[in-house]
Amino acid sequence: MSETSLYERVLKMGLEAPRPKVRASGGVVLWRRTRDSLGGHLEVYWVERSRKLAFMGGFHAFPGGGRSRSDTELSVLGAPAGVESAPREAAMPADVLDGVELEPIDAPGIMACVVRELFEETGILLADGVDSVEQGLVESARRTSLEHGADFVKIWQGLQDNAGRDLQLDAGELVYAGRWLTPPLGPVRFDNRFFLLEWPRERKRQPSVIDGELVAGEWVRPAEAIHRWETGQVVTAPPILHILKVMAEDGPSEGLARLREPFEANLGPFRKIEFRPGVLMFPLRTPTLPPAAYTNAYVLGREEAVLVDPGSPFPEAAEGMIQALRELEETDGRKVTAIWLTHHHPDHVGGVRKLREALGVPVAAHAETAKRLSAVGIEVDLDLHDQQRVVLEGSPPFPILVSHTPGHARGHLTFYDEDGGSLLGGDLTAGFGTIVVDPPEGDMDDYLASLERMRDLGAKALFPAHGPPTITVREKFTEYLEHRLWREEKILDAWIEGLKDPRELLQAVYDDVPEKTYPLAARQLEAHLIRLERAGSIER
């Protein structure tokens, strides 16, 4: 380990990042029963989000979204069944809440938010008297509401005036179906309430999607939707999976208790976060580089499994992981047989000693990582190397391709689920923020080569060490490559213009970042200068 690494010294300082903001939101599960030659079945309506969206781009979800400021200005008749008697925390374990004080389920503006989002995303307007309003007026109001910056309060008032009758938004048909707080994977967490709404074929207006934030919508049997997720055809979030499972097994009436109190979705102090089969995520609070405050640990595998990057040094996090892994073995039959590390940085290895001792399993990493960890008293038992294939036992087996991807760290590794297409990218990219390349441990040539190599791997989903996953994998790697090359071009232009003093060069090239980040930006600048000098583009 380099004693002069500014990046590692900053990590050891334990800088505190701001806690994510919490935004209230709501979603609606439309459902119906159909009749066919087999006697009929239950269907739900779900939508596909545009891959261009920053949050959950390309994911399948139920219609819904976040509360806007103007939602509190709208009056809504009626109230969803079950809200008054529902507990505020809805079986959320301690690590999910993480100090968040929840608003009431029916906090101001929530019902208006739910009704508005359902209207905008599906065209279904829950309003008293709406069935007698001309469809063209309703559709025009919907399209206007979807425009960027549109004021729904004015749109709604205009619709009331044009309809010539006393229309009133009405949430009385909704049925409360649980509350989920999204994991701390970014600067915003969504406090999402879900509601059921029966919507038979006989209703005058049926759901449809206008291309934009959404690209498709369809009625689907819950069991079929789960099958698509299990076979990698779609990606969706844990609340959606839980709702689909309950609807498939118990239906909307018998399953209400399971929806409102999802204890079965917990693993110790965590919610079970499995965006893709065989990839479980555990966001752990760590002393990492702000704006990140968490490092994602992962469990890879369906039966035999490995624990990747247990990075939190805090005893409560280790105890929580131990409890969660025991429950995972008891309930899912997944047993961790080794700890794998992407690299040696402290926010990725903080819990290794405790977890190794509790689980009685070996630790595996690249040889370069082993050298650096040995210097701080963490022994690595097994070597992982480039192009190594490890097949975890299970039905079916779970093959993982190990790739050596230096640049951020000399021993950096990624782990690729070859059957499912899921890539654990470590610190190659981040869900938000940046990746520091700090020489001599960091090397810009290596980093760019690693980005290119992983871009061409063909992964279907990318799971970073910090932040949420993405399914726009190639686009993400391309974005990082283009940003680095853009920055390098600025450096070269400034150098040619005569700015060779490090401070002047830094101010000219990193004029778009806060001054408080200049010390780390200076290390990035040095990494680019080394690369340019190596290529013969400059002389120092």
pLDDT (tens place) for every residue of the chain, 540 residues total: 345 578 787 777 766 667 788 999 999 999 999 876 556 799 999 999 999 998 899 999 999 999 999 999 999 999 999 998 887 777 788 878 888 889 999 999 999 999 999 999 999 999 998 888 888 999 999 999 998 778 999 999 999 988 777 789 999 999 999 999 999 888 899 999 999 999 999 998 999 999 999 999 999 999 999 999 999 999 999 999 999 999 999 999 999 999 999 999 999 999 999 999 999 999 999 988 877 889 999 999 999 999 999 999 999 999 999 999 999 999 999 999 999 999 999 999 999 999 999 999 999 999 999 999 999 999 999 999 999 999 999 999 999 999 999 999 999 999 999 999 999 999 999 988 789 999 999 999 999 999 999 999 999 999 999 999 999 999 999 999 999 999 999 999 999 999 999 899 999 999 998 888 899 999 999 999 999 999 999 998
Tell me where in the chain the CATH 3.90.79.10 domain(s) lie.
40-264
Which residues are bridge partners to 340 per DSSP?
Answer: 308, 364
Amino acid occupying residue 223: A
pLDDT at 2: 43
Q: Which residues contact 159 (CB under 8 A, 6 or more apart)?
A: 133, 137, 138, 141, 167
Both tokens of residue 408? 């951020």
pLDDT at 39: 60
Q: Residue 56: which region, alpha, beta or left (left: phi > 0; alpha: psi -120 to 50)? A: left
Both tokens of residue 184? 């701390």
- How close are the terminal C-alpha atoms of the chain, in Å? 27
* CB-CB neighbours of 101 under 10 Å: 7
> How many whole angstroms separate alpha carbon 345 and alpha carbon 322?
22
Both tokens of residue 39? 């006697």
Q: At 46, is the secondary structure helix, strand, or coil?
A: strand
Q: What are phi and psi of 507, to 5 degrees?
A: -65, -30
Pairing mode, if any, of strands 413-417 and 422-426? Answer: antiparallel
Tell me where in the chain the CATH 3.60.15.10 domain(s) lie.
272-475
Burial letters for 11-45: b for 16+ Cβ neighbours within 10 Å, e otherwise?
A: beeeeebeebebebbbbbbbbbeeeeeeeeeebbb
Q: Which residues contact 185 (CB under 8 A, 6 or more apart)?
A: 283, 294, 296, 431, 467, 468
Q: Nearest 5°: CA angle at 489, between 487 and 490? A: 65
Pairing mode, if any, of strands 294-300 and 304-308? Answer: antiparallel
Q: What is the pTM of this model?
A: 0.93
pLDDT at 15: 63
CATH number assigned to the domain covering 272-475: 3.60.15.10
Pairing mode, if any, of strands 294-300 and 279-285? Answer: antiparallel
CATH of 40-264, one of 3.40.50.920, 3.90.1310.10, 3.90.79.10, 3.40.50.10070: 3.90.79.10
In contact, 307 and 295? CB cutoff 8 Å: no
Both tokens of residue 395? 């039905």
Which strands, in side-by-side order, build the sheet including 168-170? Answer: 76-77, 168-170, 127-128
Q: To 10 degrees, what angle do helices 473-496 and 518-534 make?
A: 80
**Of 154, 141, 173, 160, whose CA–CA distance to 73 is shortest?**
154
Q: Which residues contact 39 (CB under 8 A, 6 or more apart)?
A: none
Radius of gyration of the chain (CA): 25
Q: At 387, is the secondary structure helix, strand, or coil?
A: coil
What does the DSSP 8-state code read for residue 102? P
> How many whole angstroms separate alpha carbon 363 and alpha carbon 365?
7
